[in-house]
Amino acid sequence: MNKLTPFLLSGILLFGAAACTDGAKTSADAPNSTTTTENATSPPAAATVQKTQSDATSEIRKNQANSDIRAREQRNNVTGGDAIRADGDLQSEVRSKLEVNITKGQLTVDAKDGVVTVAGTVPNEKDLAKIEPLAKEIKGVKMVNVTAKVVPAAAK
């Protein structure tokens, strides 16, 4: 057991470091920032979209994302930090929630002191309207700024 403890601790630290990346994206084709709109009107390659959508819509991915969100919220409740959340945690949880529920969107998520900004593109008004309520389901989100735009998918 004494030999296993350092491996477990280093695994947890490695996971924590990987989870703290800035500019969480819902797909590889999403803009790099919530303030850039350089690719907002040009659709991504069809093969890339299909690959991203099939991964995001898989039942395993949905279950995993929801489980991760619940685990983070439970961990946060245990530590007594219900209202105060790390910006990286909020970004990651909101991104996961949006990725699972808005599968055809290309969104970026930024968080600062409980204020979440979501930018990018979604294929229709229905998905655009889902962004704010979904983001507010995450504990610690005080306000949501949605700067995403509707860009319909190209006809095939």
pLDDT category of residue 133 using cuts at 50, 70 and 90: very high
Nearest 5°: phi and psi at 84? -105, 115
> What confidence tens digit (pLDDT) does each residue in 84-103 have?
678 888 898 898 888 888 87
- Cα separation of 12 and 24, whole Å? 20
* pLDDT tens, position by position, 36-72: 554 445 556 666 666 666 665 677 777 777 787 778 7
pLDDT of residue 149: 92
Tracing tokens 């655009």 back to the chain, one arrives at 128
Picking from 114, 124, 106, 60, the residue whose alpha carbon sits closest to that of residue 87 is: 114
Count of CB atoms situated within 10 Å of the CB of 156: 4
Note if the pTM is more than 0.75: no
